[in-house]
Structure 1
Amino acid sequence: MSRKNIILFGQAGAGKSSLINLMAGKNAAETSMDLKSCTLRWQEYPIEFDGGSYKVFDTVGLEEPQLGIPQFLDAVENAYKLIQDLESKGSIDLLLFCMRAGRLTATLQNNYRLFHEFLCDKKVPTILVITYLENEVGAMDDWWKRNDEIFKDREVHVAGHACITAIRGNFARRYEESRITVRNLVKEFTADGQKRAWKGGDNLFVSFMRKLKELLVGSGKSRMKKGMVTRLTKRCGMSSDVAKQLADRIKKDEV
């Protein structure tokens, strides 16, 4: 049985660890009520359900208030290395974008673009999971019906969505409903052939390495770096200085 690779990203405090536990059906990930990360690296969680085997990689919430520029660059570089390593050895099957019900902030948009557009070159399906909807009046999915146009207007395009609660508490029915919803989406978008259909058969690792090759050779070096910096500033909301530092790190990693 092949194990599917899932990268989980999103804002701190959105309940990413609780989401992992919801999917796993047990306490696989340690949860915390504060916003402090124990590490700037990703955490790996093997989980199984409904006959499927998955490996979930929980990444750092990049908007966390204690992250200075060096720590931010470390966190993004670690995510980049993880993605390249997974793709070179097999594949990334799914991105899970976790956010707390509320406003779609500029930071959330930038994090989406960084993972979906820049790091994964739009070649991996992204599922949006909206948490903390246990007190939603009516069906939890009503939140999406009220807000989906905002996501479209701001060019946050996802393959699917799940409006959930990852808090059991007094919400057992909604908690179990949330588990079924998330698991079904994961199974649907990691099924054999789904990723190939989504990305048109192209290989993310080959695609990204082709671009980096242009960055690293002769006359294309300055032009490609400039293009990378432009993407990071215009699409991912980074300052020019931070974008240049990240581009230099990526270039150094590939030398």
Structure 2
Amino acid sequence: MSTKNIVLFGETGAGKSSVVNLMAGEEVAETSPDMQRSTLTWKKYPIAFGGYNYNVFDTIGLEEPQLGIDEYLEAIVNARNLITKLDNEGGIDLLLFCVRAGRVSATLQNNYRLFYEWLCEKKVPILLVLTGLEREQNMEDWWTRNKDTFAKYGISVHGHACITAANKLDGRHQQLYQLSRQLVRNLVKEFTHESLGGGFKGGNGWIKRFMGKLRELFSGPSMGKKDMVTVLTKRCGMPPEAAVRLAKEVRKDLRR
């Protein structure tokens, strides 16, 4: 039976490592709050449950405005490198978007667009894992109250789980933790082993397709640098600094 590849992404502090441990049923990922952002890359965690095997890739998400422009672009490059790596390992079967329940922001939207729209071209199932809900009487109530806000930001997912990834709590909280494990595992199984189709592979033509999309956006005869920046920030969700740099490179390419 094939091992399914899951890419887990989201901002620092969203509880990604805790979600890995939740799924695994044991402490396989370090969750220290003092862990520093030492490298913009990923960590691979082989886990198994329900008779199935998974490789979970915990990635570094976008952290605007904490990240500088160079780090922002490097995060994009590293995310793309992961997809390239997985091309030879069965592709990507599932995206898990880890979000700490709270304010929905443009940064969340940027992360969603980077992984789901830009890099995976909307061809991979994406699930929203909402953490930090141990204080809710009914964890699902949070989604009922806030789902319209996600829709407002254009964040559309195939499924969601309202959970707590905080272990070592007692009483009712431990019951919620066990419930959370089952919710996440059921969703993962549903959208990997119970779904049709293989993993997404970007392939060698990904960069060409991406640049082709940019050319289509910028093909108008009166399209100036300022207009390009507007397209990148409004339609692609890029921070202004990254949009300015990319617009400059695209203009050079269009002159060739």
What is the TM-score when the length of structure 2 is the normalising length?
Answer: 0.82
Task: Give the helix-richer structure, 1 or 2.
Answer: 1
Report if the CA contact (8 A) 1:17-1:30 is conserved.
yes
1:170-209 to 2 correspondence within 5 Å?
A: 170=170, 171-191=173-193, 193-195=195-197, 204-205=202-203, 208=206
Counterpart code for 2:47:
I
- In structure 1, how many angstroms separate the alpha carbons of the residues matched to 2:231 and 2:55? 30
Q: Which position in structure 2 is the counterpart of 1:4?
A: 4
1:135: how far off?
Answer: 0.7
1:107: how far off?
Answer: 0.9
Query: Unaligned stretches of 5+ in structure 1?
Result: 250-255
Matched, 1:33 2:33: yes
- In structure 2, how many angstroms separate the alpha carbons of the residues matched to 1:12 and 1:241? 21
- In structure 2, how many angstroms separate the alpha carbons of the residues matched to 1:104 and 1:23? 25
1:100-249 to 2 correspondence within 5 Å?
A: 100-137=100-137, 139-168=138-167, 169-170=169-170, 171-191=173-193, 193-195=195-197, 204-205=202-203, 208=206, 211-212=209-210, 214=212, 232-243=232-243, 245=245
Q: Which position in structure 2 is the counterpart of 1:253?
A: none
Q: Which position in structure 1 is the counterpart of 2:254?
A: none
- RMSD of the alignment, in Å? 3.3
Query: Unaligned stretches of 5+ in structure 2?
Result: 220-224, 251-256
- In structure 2, how many angstroms separate the alpha carbons of the residues matched to 1:246 and 1:36? 29
Report if the CA contact (8 A) 1:12-1:64 is conserved.
no
Secondary structure of the corresponding residue to residue 147 of structure 1: helix
Q: Which position in structure 2 is the counterpart of 1:94?
A: 94
1:245: how far off?
Answer: 4.4
Secondary structure of the corresponding residue to residue 19 of structure 2: helix
1:179: how far off?
Answer: 0.2
Structure 2 CA distance for partners of 1:167 and 1:131, relative to 1, 3 Å: same
Secondary structure of the corresponding residue to residue 8 of structure 1: strand
Structure 2 CA distance for partners of 1:159 and 1:25, relative to 1, 3 Å: same
Structure 2 CA distance for partners of 1:38 and 1:238, relative to 1, 3 Å: same
- Percent of matched pairs sharing the same residue: 54
Report if the CA contact (8 A) 1:7-1:95 is conserved.
yes
Which stretch of the first structure deviates more once superposed, 127-136 or 59-68? 59-68
- In structure 2, how many angstroms separate the alpha carbons of the residues matched to 1:176 and 1:231? 45
Report if the CA contact (8 A) 1:17-1:31 is conserved.
yes
1:212: how far off?
Answer: 4.8
Secondary structure of the corresponding residue to residue 81 of structure 1: helix
- In structure 2, how many angstroms separate the alpha carbons of the residues matched to 1:53 and 1:246? 39
Instruction: Mark the structure with the bigger radius of gyration.
Output: 2
What per-residue deviation string (whole Å, max 9, x for no partner) do you get for residues 104-145 of structure 1?
Answer: 1111111111111111111111100000101102x1111111
- In structure 2, how many angstroms separate the alpha carbons of the residues matched to 1:54 and 1:246? 36
Report if the CA contact (8 A) 1:10-1:108 is conserved.
yes
- In structure 2, how many angstroms separate the alpha carbons of the residues matched to 1:9 and 1:167? 18
Structure 2 CA distance for partners of 1:144 and 1:43, relative to 1, 3 Å: same
- In structure 2, how many angstroms separate the alpha carbons of the residues matched to 1:183 and 1:228? 42
Report if the CA contact (8 A) 1:43-1:57 is conserved.
yes
Structure 2 CA distance for partners of 1:213 and 1:103, relative to 1, 3 Å: closer
Structure 2 CA distance for partners of 1:66 and 1:203, relative to 1, 3 Å: closer
Structure 2 CA distance for partners of 1:203 and 1:134, relative to 1, 3 Å: same
Counterpart code for 2:166:
I
Structure 2 CA distance for partners of 1:188 and 1:230, relative to 1, 3 Å: farther
Structure 2 CA distance for partners of 1:230 and 1:5, relative to 1, 3 Å: farther
